[in-house]
Every structure is written in C-alpha cells, then in structure tokens.
C-alpha cells in the first residue's frame, strides 16, 4: 500500500478533485452529482444515506458560518480510497479546524465519504 502525504491536487482522481472543488464553493448540486445513488456520507458521526440525504447535508452544512477552506494534504490509501486534509478558518466555534475527507470510490463515483477531525 503506497501512501503520499502531500499528493498534488492534480494527481487526485477526477471524481475526488471535482467533488471537492464544488463542495468548497458550496455547490451542492454539482458536488452531489459525483455521489453514487447509494452513497453514505458521515460527518462528525452523523450519517446521511443516499444521494438525496447527502445533497441536503452538502447544501446545509456550515451554512450558518463564514469560513475559508485550504487543502493542506492529500494521499492515496489504495486504488479506491483517498484522503484529502483541509484546514478551515472562520466564524465557527474554535475558529480553526483540520478535517480529513476520506473518500471511497466505486465506478468513478463517491460511494462513501467520511469527514472527521484530522488526528493531531
């Protein structure tokens, strides 16, 4: 299993790259188009099943805050699993957070996305 800790964005799979680009600008319609119909999205322990539930989550997540997102790392876990690490800075409690977006791909779509705090 090869791991790249600072993989350039252009070496990420197109699905991951384009999902993330849409998600960062809060374009839930485009972001959810990269999800499988039966996708599972988990954010801080809350689970959203299927593209419709995930779309609602993507549309509403963090909408009460102003924040910026910066990709600070990315790595390939294996052929279908990728991790993108981001740093958020904004008006949410604590003001700064580092999160891992753990993607599992199937048929060039996101089958599972787990968003969790980046380990310290």
56-114 residue pLDDT tens = 999 998 788 889 999 999 999 999 999 999 999 999 999 999 999 999 999 999 999 99
Most confident residue range from 2-11, 50-59, 66-75? 50-59
Cα–Cα distances in angstroms (integers) from residue 47 to residues 8, 54, 56, in the given order: 29, 9, 12
pTM above 0.85, yes or no: yes
Rounded CA-CA distance 74/91 in Å is 25
Which uninterrupted H or E stretch holds 73? strand 67-78
What is the chain's mean pLDDT, rounded?
92
Cα–Cα distances in angstroms (integers) from residue 56 to residues 48, 51, 52, 74, 75, in the given order: 9, 9, 6, 26, 27
Rounded CA-CA distance 52/85 in Å is 25
Phi/psi at 55 (5° precision): -60, -45
Cα–Cα distances in angstroms (integers) from residue 22 to residues 4, 13, 55, 92, in the given order: 23, 14, 12, 21
pLDDT value, residue 44: 84
Which uninterrupted H or E stretch holds 17? helix 14-24
pLDDT above 90 as % of the chain: 80
CATH class of the 9-117 domain in this structure: alpha beta
pLDDT value, residue 5: 63
Indicate if the pLDDT at residue 2 is higher than 80: no
pLDDT value, residue 27: 96
pLDDT value, residue 10: 83
């Amino acid at each position: 299993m090869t791991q790249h800790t600072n993989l350039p964005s252009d070496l990420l799979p197109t699905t991951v790259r384009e999902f993330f680009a849409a998600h960062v600008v809060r374009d839930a319609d485009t972001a959810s188009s990269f999800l499988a119909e039966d996708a599972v999205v988990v954010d801080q322990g809350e689970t959203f099943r299927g593209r419709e539930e995930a779309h609602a989550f993507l549309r509403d997540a963090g909408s009460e805050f102003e924040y910026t997102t910066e990709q600070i790392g990315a790595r390939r876990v294996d052929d279908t699993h990728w991790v993108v690490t981001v740093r958020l800075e904004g008006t949410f409690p604590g003001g700064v957070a580092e999160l891992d977006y753990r993607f599992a791909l199937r048929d060039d779509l996101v089958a599972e996305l787990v968003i969790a705090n980046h380990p310290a």
